[in-house]
């Protein structure tokens, strides 16, 4: 699979996973997903499973730390760091995609309408949640 297709699959998997969390819990718990250079597989990490009492910042740091460890030990092409973001009473899925060459954060606004979660088109930001590859 070429790199553009891998990124596309990574984004779709992240949004599907975040939507499943919204359906199940009513919120998006911070998680990471990684894509490999030598495989079409995607693998998820969600340290909040073991550290449920951690606050949002700690959870983001825990996901980022795990992703950095995976980069050091696996043949990683790209990572995604996903969480729920809130601003001005509105909520969005924060989806940061990072490779060795780039890092970008998109926010997918969402709302509940007629009992279903509606996820809108993404808005690109100039910020990142945490640097994953640059710490290498």
Domain ranges (residues) in the chain: 3-135
CA angle 107, 135, 105 (to 5 degrees): 10
Of residues 53, 79, 75, 58, the one with CA closest to residue 132 = 79
Instruction: Report residue 58: phi and psi, to 5°.
Output: -65, -40
pLDDT for 136 equals 45
Range 10-28 average pLDDT? 95
CA angle 17, 34, 128 (to 5 degrees): 85
| % of the chain beyond a pLDDT of 90 | 73
pLDDT for 3 equals 83
55, pLDDT greater than 90: no
pLDDT in tens, 79-99: 999 999 998 889 999 999 999
Residues 108 and 80: beta-carbon distance below 8 Å? no
């Amino acid at each position: 699979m070429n790199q553009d297709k891998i990124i596309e699959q990574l984004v779709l998997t992240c949004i599907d996973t975040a939507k499943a969390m919204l359906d199940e819990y009513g919120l998006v718990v911070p998680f990471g997903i990684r894509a490999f250079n030598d495989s079409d597989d995607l693998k998820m990490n969600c340290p909040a499973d073991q550290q449920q009492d951690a606050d949002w910042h700690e959870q983001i740091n825990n996901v980022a730390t795990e992703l950095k460890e995976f980069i050091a030990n696996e043949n990683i092409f790209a990572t995604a760091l996903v969480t729920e973001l809130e601003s001005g009473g509105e909520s969005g899925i924060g989806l940061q995609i990072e490779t060795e060459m780039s890092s970008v954060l998109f926010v997918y606004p969402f709302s509940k309408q007629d009992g279903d979660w509606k996820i809108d088109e993404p808005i690109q930001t100039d910020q990142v949640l945490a640097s994953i590859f640059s710490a290498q």
